[in-house]
Amino acid sequence: MNKDDIKIVLVSDNHMTRHGLDYIRSAHSDADYFIHCGDSEMPKYEMGGFACVQGNNDWFGEYPPRLILEIGMHRILVTHGHRDFFYGRFDMLADKARAFDCDIVCFGHTHIYFDETVNGIRLLNPGSIWRNRDGSKPSYMLINLQGKKIITKRMTYEINSLKNAK
C-alpha cells in the first residue's frame, strides 16, 4: 500500500466472543480504522479501537443505531441493518445510504459475507467472526480505499488463528 491508501478492518456479529476481536487487532495493527457493524454484545470499554453501532442483540445502550464516517473520498453509512432493510431487499440499504449522501454501506446482521454494488452504492457485509449462517467459515473484511477506488478482501477467521498470529 502507498501512503495514500487507507486500510479499514470491517467486522460484525462476534456475539460476546472476544478472541476474534483480539486476533483482528493483533493481525491488522497497521489498519487506519476498525469498524464493527453491531451485535458485539460487549460493553463499549471492551471495544477499544472499534467504531461501533448497535445491533439487535446489543443491550448496553452505548452505541448509536447508525454512524456516518467520512474516510478519504468516501462517506460511509455504518449500520447493523436490522432496522434498515428486509433480507434480500438490498435496495433499501442503497436508498438509506443515498438519503445520508453516502456511497458505501457497511452492515451486518445476516451473518453472510456480501460485497455488491446496488443502485450505485457499494454494500459491504463482512459476515460474522462468530458463525456464518451460510455454512462458510467465520469471516471479516479488509477494505482498502485508494482515492475513489474500493478494494475488498474476504478474510476467514478460525479460533486457532490467535495462536498463529503471535
Q: Among 27-41, 83-97, 120-134, which stretch is predicted with the lowest mean pLDDT?
A: 83-97
| pLDDT(166) > 60 | no
Number of structural domains (the chain) is 1
User: What's the average model confidence in pLDDT over 23-49?
Assistant: 95
Say which CATH number the domain at 77 has: 3.60.21.10
Domain that holds residue 95: 6-165
Buried/exposed 14-36: b ≥16 CB within 10 Å, e otherwise: bbebebbbebbbebbeebbbbbb
* pTM as predicted: 0.91
Asked if residue 102 is part of any domain, the answer here is yes
Of 18-22, 23-27, 73-77, 79-83, the least confident = 79-83
**1 occurs within a structural domain:** no
CB neighbours of residue 154 within 10 Å: 14
pLDDT in tens, 51-65: 999 999 998 789 999
Mean pLDDT of the chain: 91
Q: Does residue 139 fall inside a structural domain?
A: yes
Q: Calculate mean pLDDT across residues 98-124.
A: 96
pLDDT at 162: 47
Mean per-residue pLDDT, 130-148: 96
